[in-house]
Amino acid sequence: MTTTHPMQRAPIPGWARASVLALALAATVATAAAQSPASIDARVDALLRRMTLEEKVGEMTQLTIQAVSRTEGTPTVEHQLDSAKLEEALVRNNVGSLLNVWDVAFTPQHWREVITTVQRFAARKRLHSPVIYGIDAVHGHHYMVGATVFPQNLAMAATWNPELVRRENEITAYETRASGITWNFSPVLDLGRQPLWSRFFETFGEDPYLATVLGVAAVEGEQHDPRPDLATLLQSGSPRVVQHASRRGAPAHDDPPVGGTVFVAATGKHFLGYSMPLSGKDRTTAWIPERQLREYFVPTFKGAIGAGLRTVMINSGDINGIPVHSSHEILTGLLRHELGFTGVTVSDWEDINKLYTVHHVAASRKDAVRMAVMAGVDMSMVPFDFSFTHDLIELVHEGAVPESRIDEAVRRILKLKFELGLFDNPGPDPAMLANVGAPVFQAVSRQAAEEAVTLLKNDRALLPLSKRARVLVTGPGATSLPALHGSWTHTWQGTNEAMYPTGVKSVLDAIRAEIGAGQVTYVPGTTEHDAIDIAAAADAARRVDAAIVVLAEMPSTEKPGDIDDLTLPDAQLRLAAAVEATGTPTVLVLVENRPRIVRTVVDSARAVLMAYETGPFGGEAVARILFGDVNPSGKLPFTYPRYTGAIEHYDRAPSADVTADKPEGGYDPQWPFGYGLSYTTFAYSDLTLNARDVGRNDTLTISVTVANTGARAGKEVVQLYVRDLYASVEPPMKRLRGFEKIELAPGARRTVTFRLPIQQLAFIGRDDRPVVEPGDFDVMIGGLTQRFTVR
């Protein structure tokens, strides 16, 4: 796909791109990797001893780029830095970190100019400490024009493909580092268990195991040097992600121009419990008992910390009335002492001051600073002024904050800068910028979109449609690129259509390209909330072979995304119902950033596709699946609710389940977790365990045979669930304990083997501590069950 953008400068010729790829991506970090942790620690200690209090506190201060800029960026006007403001912030106030854009994505060339200028001013500091620059590159480096944009995390989770997630984050890390940015505020490790929450789409779904596996893949993809793997990808010319390439290999002849022992610092966010607000509104109170907090919300962070996560961003809200920024128990006791996190903790936007202005647990702005720093916050995203800096200096002079606590925080920040190689080369690499948006990078995004789209209904095998069919396309998602991309795309909310490049196909564009414009009738039908011409859409449906109704939620995140009702807007439901009432076979395509209630139009639809927010190739992925070029393989990473007041998760307790003696209630979702159809069929057989009686420190080997019994090749996610029959705490009906995505040709079969450490069956007991209890357990895969006993 070739795209152009209103702010993009002259493109780099293909021959130049190819030659630079061969040179730049073949590099490894041999020199940087030679820096041992001991040598970095020694450099940190030596520098810290030379620093004044003012220099130390400056390192703990993070400002938005707006605070050091003269002109806001727009689709037609380039952003400008302000030299006087840079001098004041970086040189006179020793600010150690900047973040963000103002207010639109920058071109690669402008990022190079911005980072180079910022680091030039930082070099004027007495000790020449570089700036660590942060960005929310949450589905690709979407704040850089021309960079590779990927599906949102929820859609990536629907692929159930950790290697795709790893590759996505390798590409994101490469393109982020190419622009000179070394700190990515990603991945979101919150669980998606409150679908009202506006940032649901940023999660990897509702399950701790799935989210942990994908979160670890994201962290490793960001922080390990991706250049050897990407060089292999580019040299092969193949976009297909099957197995993660080895990072071992001979060093390149020339040292790389940028890099360190950490390539880009990943950020686990938002520690802890941010995604479970009781009301569903962003940044509001979460009520999470200690046992549930540890059972569901800690594992993703624990896994990422085990993978070497270097930074953590703090939950903007409160848990059980205690703002997390003020909780020494959570930020020091749990995060540091129990989970062993050694990296940098950073607040979210203005959150320390909000302890005073919003939460009212601090009596003044300065008291809020004291409270947060003593709780365990290392860096404050202030983000506009020097209030944090001045207040903290005063607090140290007053004895309210010991300088030893300042030294602790600054040591972590300086160590991260050394690990990133910023003291050796803080600027961008122009050679790397030449590779931004490489065709094989784009191909990975396309593959991710195709593997994410989930077929939820296909009554009487309506899909795939014939390419000779005459179709109606209607609904607000048919033409909306922002709906396909979601928030954090070119702008914060992702709604500025002027920033979207040309050449990206909407669902309507992609269907026209797939079968020919002459076979496609388009009627808008509705906007997101209002009817336009529903009657015209219904009339057009009577004259075609099939109708494709693309329902959508427009992008929104954080407070602007707060809603009061999960039900899709009434105008869209009336459009779908009117089209279905014509009797024309109808396909619903759901372009959503969270599951919206569509119960009233599902039964009359012949087919339903969940398209999520699948990015620049989402429209093409939908079209290719509708007309059979791609066999869908996505699986829901969350339980899709049937009613707005019936939010249950697959790992529900027995008391929440539908049983023979309680048919009137319980778990009755629209579609369950892990669900997704294919154009072929798979049969499971021969579920075997290597033992029926195991100890608590043993590992159980489980195998099952999967056969493709249909007429076309397809991908299947083999999902391993375990059920604890009896426990001291009411056990869930089942829990995901393993999965593997496989591809089978027609008639082919494969034996899939899992190794399950029995310790993985631990749950948080009545004493709020993990425990594996003896007893009977069921292994469940593909409708098959086998029982084993833990001694």
Say whether 144 sits in a helix, a strand or coil.
strand
What count of Cα atoms within 13 Å lies in the side-chain half-sphere of residue 374? 14
Residues 275 and 154: beta-carbon distance below 8 Å: no
Closest by Cα among 129, 58, 67 to 393: 58
Active-site residue flag, 348: yes
The residues, ordered by sequence, that sit 6+ positions from 82 with a Cβ below 8 Å of its Cβ are 68, 69, 70
d(C-alpha 611, C-alpha 172), whole Å? 22
Say whether 204 sits in a helix, a strand or coil.
coil
Helix ranges (H only) for 143-287 are 153-159, 162-178, 208-223, 227-236
Residues 635 and 156: beta-carbon distance below 8 Å: no
Q: According to the model, what pLDDT value does residue 666 have?
A: 73
| Annotated catalytic residue within 348, 351, 651, 724 | 348
Burial category of 170 from C-beta neighbours within 10 Å (exposed 0-12, middle 13-18, buried 19 and up) = buried
Intervals of the chain under pLDDT 50: 2, 7-34, 239-256
Q: According to the model, what pLDDT value does residue 238 have?
A: 54
Q: According to the model, what pLDDT value does residue 242 have?
A: 40
d(C-alpha 526, C-alpha 548), whole Å? 14
d(C-alpha 43, C-alpha 115), whole Å? 24
Name the one residue in this structure whose structure tokens are 């072979």: 545
Strand partners of residue 403: none
